[in-house]
Amino acid sequence: MSLKPEDVKNIAHLARLAISDDSISDYARDLSSILDLVEQMNQVNTDHVQPMAHPMDAQQRLRPDAVTEINQREKFQSIAPDVDSGLYRVPKVIE
Amino acid sequence: MQWETVIGLEIHAQLATKSKIFSAASTAFGAAPNTQACAVDLGLPGVLPVLNVEAVNMAIKFGVAIGAEIGRESVFARKNYFYPDLPKGYQISQFELPIVGKGEISISPEEGVHRVIGVTRAHLEEDAGKSLHDQFPKQTGIDLNRAGTPLLEIVSEPDLRSAKEAVAYARKIHALVQFLNICDGNMQEGSFRCDANVSVRPMGQTALGTRAEIKNINSFRFLERAINYEIERQVDLIEDGGRVVQETRLYDADKNETRSMRSKEEANDYRYFPDPDLLPVRVTDADIEAIRASLPELPEQKRQRYVEQLNLTDYNAELLSGSREIADYFETALAAAPELSSLLSNWILGDLTGALNKSEKSFTDSPVTPELLIGLLRRIADDTISGKIAKEVFEAMWNAEGNADEIIERKGLKQITDSGAIEKLIDDVIAKNPDQVQQFREGKEKVLGFFVGQIMQQSKGKANPGQVNQLLRAKLKP
| pLDDT higher than threshold 80 for residue B399 | yes
Query: Could A16 and B279 be called an inter-chain contact, meaning their C-beta atoms sit closer than 8 Å?
Result: no
Angle at B264 between CA B260 and CA B268, to 5 degrees: 80
Query: Measured between alpha carbons, how far is residue B325 from residues B28, B213, B297 in Å?
Result: 21, 31, 14
Judging by DSSP bridges, how do beta strands B51-52 and A62-63 pair with one another? parallel
B332-351 per-position pLDDT tens digit: 999 999 999 999 999 999 99
Of B452, B468, B461, B467, nearest to B390 by C-alpha is B461
pLDDT at B265: 46
- Check CB contact under 8 Å for B280 and A53: yes
Res. A65: pLDDT tops 60: yes
Position B264 scores a pLDDT of 45
Rounded to two decimals, the ipTM of the complex is 0.90
Of B96, B131, B280, Cβ closest to residue A93 = B131
Q: In this model, does residue A1 exceed pLDDT 80?
A: no
pTM beyond 0.90: the answer is no
pLDDT score, position B90: 96
Pick the CATH number of A5-42 from 1.10.20, 1.10.287, 1.10.4160, 3.40.470: 1.10.20
Residue B104 phi, psi (nearest 5): -150, 160
Mean pLDDT of chain A: 92
Contact call for B19 and A68, based on CB within 8 A: yes
Interface test with A, best of B17, B19, B41, B281 (most A CBs within 10 A): B19
Closest CA to B54 of B149, B137, B120: B149
Interface test with B, best of A16, A50, A88, A92 (most B CBs within 10 A): A88
Chain B's closest residue to A60, CA to CA, is B279
Domains in chain A: boundaries: 5-42
Considering only CB atoms, B18 lies closest to which of A65, A92, A93, namely A65
Nearest CA in chain A to B262: A95
More confident residue, B327 or A52: B327
Could you tell me which of B278, B271, B270, B283 has the C-alpha nearest to residue B76?
A: B278
Do strands B130-132 and B247-252 pair parallel, antiparallel, or not at all (unpaired)? Answer: unpaired
Mutate to test the interface with B, among A56, A75, A95 (most CBs of B within 10 A): A95
**Residue A90 to residue B84, Cβ atoms within 8 A:** yes
| Residues of chain A with C-beta less than 8 angstroms from the C-beta of B42 | 76
Min Cα–Cα distance to chain A from B346, Å: 42
The per-residue pLDDT for B74 is 95
Distance CA A91, CA B137 (A): 10
